[in-house]
A and B are shown apart, each in its own frame.
Chain A
Amino acid sequence: MNRTGILAATAALFCLATAVSAQDVAIRNATILTITNGTIENGTIVVRDGRIAEVGSDVAVPSGATVIDGTGMYVLPGLIDAHSHMAIEGGINEGSESVTPEVILPIRDDDNTIYRALAGGVTSALLLHGSANTIGGQARVIKMRWGREADELVFEEAPRFVKFALGENVTRASSDAPDSDRRYPKSRMGVEQLLRWWFTEAREYEAEWKAYEESNDRNAVPPRKDLRLQALVDIMNGDIKVQAHSYRSDEILMLMRVAEDFGFRIWTFQHVLEGYKIADEMAKHGAMASTFAENWGYKVEAYDAIPHNMAIMADRGVTVSVNSDSGERVRRLYQEAAMGMKYGGMDENEALKMITLNPAKQLGVESRVGSIEVGKDADLAIFNGHPFAPASRVEKTLVDGVVYFDREQAMTLEKLLQAQTRVTTEDDR
């Protein structure tokens, strides 16, 4: 086989998952980390119609089910990445103006980051607009149904989300652009005032529509439709939930106070590297947090980041997830979660929640995914050891009960080398 042949074989393997349809599956004799109901040793999970039908140590394998031998394996709920820019068509920033909530991200289905995320046990992700705008575009939630078309990747039950951003990126503070190329706001102070100005506008817009709809005047003219203001109204009413890119504690506090003044809450703070300084305030506001485990010092507003951030926030009642924000980290989110135990002494299940149940809550899909419970989607990651142990890797990943990643079927470096050795040997003959 020449190199082209090998690539063709790889491509064929990538596509394999699409040929498999959902049928009864039983994962047998595995250690099951349910997240919500402890650990089940020598357990069995039965999957029917893409959902978890049975879980336990005393569960019979139905006849006709495809059996996956879980001996020595650990099964987790499929991992969930609460901050990703994979699978987005075109750029991730509508960088023209600083307030663009009417924009909705288009999904692209051929980004092989999806496949590589699956190979790291990830089954769902929140795709976010970039951080160029104070109020950016609307997000998408996907499942990693690799090989299917864009529309079929959409996680149907997920609510609508919008990206907010604060600090250096929206003020373009670290940009080398000359002043003339800059735009308002240019300071954290400006960010606050911009937010207040727009939400005041949106409030007036809502009032105009309300007045029109309640009016008895048959000749009343409807107000002009404004998609941007309507999106802001939807944000104030909680119909679009806020995912806010943030770093410093001052700006996090500011945004919570602005939101409170306009009657809404910040759903999840993203990055939130100084969340540990202000965890009580976040808990009281009701905001969740999705952060990095180890990233720090890559810019000034990330200089006070500490890896104990996750543990402190969790300890004070904030729902914490750890995310990738990267096509690289998404392949090893379990390493990031383990940092919660190292730094600040989180217990194991709390640390595991940061890549399962907690991001499920942040994506608004915790009734469907995030734990191994009867009735939930059969989104599962099968590891060859404890996910926090150093020698562990993902062997299989299922979405809706379908195996979308299987290391036995995947093109690995080992298999490529073996194929090349075979070619060389044949050439020698």
Chain B
Amino acid sequence: MSASTGFLPLFLAAGALVVATPVRAQPQIGEEGTFLIRGGTIVTGTGERIENGSILIQDGRIAAVGANVQAPAEATMVDAAGRFVYPGMIDAYTPLGLSEIGGINTMNLRSELGEFNPHMRAVVALNVDSEMMAVTRANGVTNVLTTPSSGVISGQAALVNTAGWTWEDLAVRTTAAYVVNWPREPSFRFGEPPSEAQTRAAREQAERETRELKDMLRTAQQYHRAREAGSTEWDQQYESMRALMSGQTPALVSADTEEQIRGAIALADSFGLKVIIYGGNEAWKVADELAEKAIPVVLGSIMSTPETDEPYDAIYAQPGVLHRAGVKFAFSTGSAANSRHVPYHAALAVAYGLPADAAIQGLTLWPAQIFGADDQIGSIEVGKLGNLFIATGDPLDIRTQVTDVFIKGRHVPPDDRHSRFYEKYNGRPKGQN
């Protein structure tokens, strides 16, 4: 299917001299250019559907969209007849770019020492040549929120494109959110049940971390106010938190239980923070309050199992419940290897009650809005980055093929680790064993 024809050997008629053709090296992320995508059905992501529409991409951005688009003479035509054009999908929580092969410590440096690291920036450590990133974009996932991990404040998550020459080229928002892990008692789900002493120690640790988190925010608030008032005293950590304390950049708080979610909301209230809930397995229990306070949720992987005492479909059905309550949400995988399959998380939500249109929004416009990047990505609108894909059908349908991917106006060739191995071994002469 998808691999570039540049890798196919050229066979000539018997008797003719076989000329070895050099493998055409394609720039892995494609060239920027002027493209006119025409003939397809455009699903703009803003609720509009344009049949037989055209999109002009110029200077990395969407220059025109509509039924009648005039293209300059130099535009490269991209035929989308019979196919569908969607805004690039967004995985709203993944280690993509920071993590590669699991189990290899040096390929998974997502965590700094210590519990409080608001100054750590994921963006500066992104590997633009991650094989997993290439696989991700091939399925139309053009943007991800890459997150640092562990501790109470892990650091700053970056909202990035999934193709680019440098991390600066990747970045859409270098600090899209501060990753906060609501202190929780470590899970004893596996193995022996904990002793009373262990349970107590775990609870005390969570309480201590919560106290320390509040202390740090209090100091950061004072620091921020002093700086606003003209103080020249400088602290690396507190300086890094000013966008958080001013409410400009949100805290993405990992919280699953009702208690944790309520804790995060109360904290946001008391410090005037902008907050996003991440994970949120029990967000449905707090849905009305989240809606009232306009607190969005980055859903944890839908491909996970509810607690034993929850309804069997609790995680599948939650997005539908949140949607009805008026809570804005985004889908995420939490995975680098399978960030590409974020639409199939959304598909499960549709099977259990979420309207299909809302699922598409949760993969495109809503995450863009949640991370304050809807001026750049999330829909097919003039002025936004040329981040979109062409597909044979509904992207929620696993059978759909993504045929073309554009990122930052580059027509990114479908060349990745998987397609390369597929070409090689699908082409192995049969029966030679």
Interface residues of A (CB under 8 A from B): 7, 10, 112, 115-116, 119, 174, 276-277, 279-281, 284, 294-300, 302-304, 306-308, 312, 315-316, 327-329, 331-332, 335, 338-339, 341-345, 388-393, 410-417
Is B7 part of the contact surface with A, judged by Cβ < 8 Å?
no
Least CB distance from A378 to B in Å reads 23
Chain B hits for A302, CB < 8 A: 101-102
When the two chains form the complex, which single residue of A119, A281, A298, A303 contacts B312, counting CB atoms closer than 8 Å? A119
Q: Quick check: which of B176-184, B234-242, B269-277, B337-345 contacts chain A, the rest being far away?
A: B337-345
Tell me, yes or no, whether B47 is within 8 Å of chain A by CB.
no
- B353 in contact (CB, < 8 A): yes
* Interface contact A410-B312, CB-CB below 8 Å: yes
B305: contacting residue among A304, A316, A331, A391, CB under 8 A: A331
Task: List chain A residues, Cβ under 8 A from B350.
Answer: 390-391
Chain B residues whose CB sits within 8 angstroms of the CB of A415 once the complex forms: 311
Sample 10 A-B pairs with CB under 8 A, ordered by A number.
A115-B312, A281-B433, A306-B417, A306-B418, A390-B347, A391-B350, A391-B351, A391-B356, A393-B352, A410-B313
For residue A256, give the distance in angstroms from its CB to the closest CB of chain B. Answer: 10
B303 is an interface residue with CB less than 8 A from chain A = yes
Task: State the CA gap A174–B106 with chains docked (Å).
Answer: 13
Tell whether B12 is near chain A: CB-to-CB under 8 Å. Answer: no
Residues of chain B with a CB closer than 8 A to A327's CB: 305
Contact partner of A332 (CB less than 8 A), chosen from B303, B308, B394, B426, is B303
User: Which among B304, B344, B356 is the interface contact of A328 at CB below 8 angstroms?
Assistant: B304
Q: Is the CB of B311 within 8 A of A388?
A: no
Q: Does B432 contact A (CB under 8 A)?
A: yes
A300 to B417, CA, bound (A): 14
Q: In the docked arrangement, what's the CA distance between A303 and B103, Å?
A: 11
Given A306-B422, A332-B303, A413-B318: A298 in contact with B347 (beta carbons within 8 A)? no
- Fill in one digit per residue for B413-433: 1 if any A CB lies within 8 Å of its CB, else 0: 000011001100110101111
Which residues of chain A come closer than 8 Å to B305, judged between CB atoms?
A: 116, 327-328, 331
Known: A276-B425, A298-B102, A308-B418. A392 touches B351 (CB 8 A): yes
- B contact residues around A341 at 8 Å (CB): 398-399
> In the complex, what residues of B have CB within 8 A of residue A307's CB?
418
**Is the Cβ of A413 less than 8 Å from the Cβ of B303?**
no
Minimal Cβ-Cβ distance residue in A for B324: A417
**CB within 8 Å of A: which B302-354 residues:** 303-305, 308-314, 316-318, 321, 336-338, 341, 344, 347-348, 350-353
Q: How far is the CB of B43 from chain A (nearest CB, A)?
A: 15
Q: Does B396 contact A (CB under 8 A)?
A: yes
> Are B311 and A412 touching (Cβ within 8 A)?
yes
For A416, list chain B residues within 8 Å (CB).
311
Residues of B whose CB lies within 8 Å of any CB of A are: 1, 100-104, 131-132, 284, 303-305, 308-314, 316-318, 321, 336-338, 341, 344, 347-348, 350-353, 356, 394, 396-401, 417-418, 421-422, 425-426, 428, 430-433
User: Which residue among A116, A279, A306, A389 has the maximum number of chain B CB atoms within 10 Å of its CB?
Assistant: A306
Complex interface: chain A residues within 8 A of B356 (CB):
390-391
Residues of A within 8 A of B426 (CB): 276, 308, 312, 315, 344
B2 and chain A: residue at smallest CB distance:
A343
Chain A residues with Cβ under 8 A from B351's Cβ?
390-393
Among all A-B residue pairs, the 4 with the closest Cβ atoms: A390-B347, A338-B398, A298-B102, A390-B396
Known pairs A299-B102, A316-B430; A412 contacts B317 (CB<8 A): yes
Rounded to whole Å, the gap between the CB of A117 and the closest CB of chain B is: 10
Q: Chain B residues near A306 (CB, 8 Å)?
A: 417-418, 421-422
- State A10–B309 Cα separation when bound (angstroms): 9
The CA of A415 and the CA of B311, in the complex, are separated in Å by 9
Nearest chain B residue, comparing its CB with the CB of A119: B312
Cα-based distance from A303 to B336 in the complex (angstroms):
13
Contacts of A342 in B (CB 8 A): 398-401
Q: Are B337 and A297 in contact (CB under 8 A)?
A: yes
Q: Which of A297, A316, A344, A390 has the most CB of B within 10 A?
A: A390
Q: Which residues of A contact B318 (CB under 8 A)?
A: 413
Q: A335-B398, A344-B422 are in contact. List 15 more A-B contacts (CB 8 A).
A: A295-B338, A296-B337, A298-B102, A299-B101, A299-B104, A312-B426, A315-B426, A328-B305, A343-B422, A388-B397, A388-B398, A393-B316, A393-B352, A410-B311, A412-B311
Do A390 and B394 form a contact, CB below 8 Å, given A276-B425, A331-B305, A344-B426? Answer: yes
Task: Contact check, A413 vs B321: say whether CB atoms are below 8 A apart.
Answer: yes
Hey, which chain B residues are within 8 Å of A339, CB to CB?
A: 398
Does B100 lie within 8 Å of A297, measured CB to CB? yes
Q: How far is the CA of A308 from the CA of B100 in the complex (A)?
A: 20
In this complex, which of A342, A343, A411 has the most chain B Cβ atoms within 10 angstroms of its Cβ?
A342
A312–B311 Cα gap in the complex (Å)? 39
In the assembled complex, the Cα of A280 lies from the Cα of B432 at a distance in Å of 7
Which of A299, A308, A316 is within 8 Å of B422, CB to CB?
A308
Assembled-state Cα–Cα distance A295/B132 (Å): 12
Give A316 to B311 CA distance when docked, in angstroms. 42
Closest-CB distance, A149 to chain B (whole angstroms): 20
Cβ–Cβ contact A116 & B312, under 8 A: yes
Knowing A281-B433, A413-B318 are in contact, say whether A388-B103 is a contact too (CB < 8 A).
Answer: no
**Are A390 and B397 touching (Cβ within 8 A)?**
yes
Contact A295 B337 (CB under 8 A): yes
Given A329, A343, A391, which contacts B347 in the complex, CB threshold below 8 Å?
Answer: A391
Set of chain A residues within 8 Å of B347, measured between Cβ atoms: 335, 390-391
Q: How far is the CB of B382 from chain A (nearest CB, A)?
A: 30
Cβ distance A418 to chain B, nearest Cβ, rounded Å: 11
A277-B425, A393-B351 known; A329 vs B311 contact (CB < 8 Å) = no
**A35 vs B320: C-alpha distance when bound (angstroms):** 33
- The smallest C-beta distance from A414 to any residue of chain B, in angstroms, reads 6
Q: Please give me the residue from chain B that is nearest to A11 by CB atom.
A: B309
Query: Which residues from B are CB-within-8-Å of A344?
Result: 1, 422, 426
**Residue of B310, B313, B433 with most chain A CB atoms under a 10 A cut-off:** B313
Rounded to whole Å, the gap between the CB of A349 and the closest CB of chain B is 13
Residue of B101, B308, B348, B353 touching A297 (CB-CB under 8 A): B101
One of A112, A300, A392 near B308 (C-beta < 8 A)? A112
Q: Contact between A294 and B101 (Cβ–Cβ < 8 Å)?
A: no
Question: What separation, in Å, do the CA atoms of A316 and B353 have in the docked complex?
Answer: 40
Residues of A within 8 A of B341 (CB): 294
- A413 contacts which of B311, B432, B433 (Cβ < 8 Å)? B311
Report the nearest B residue to A276, measured CB to CB: B425
Q: How far is the CB of B107 from chain A (nearest CB, A)?
A: 9
Q: Are B303 and A328 in contact (CB under 8 A)?
A: yes
Does B337 contact A345, Cβ atoms closer than 8 Å? no
Residues of chain A within 8 A (CB-CB) of B310 are 413
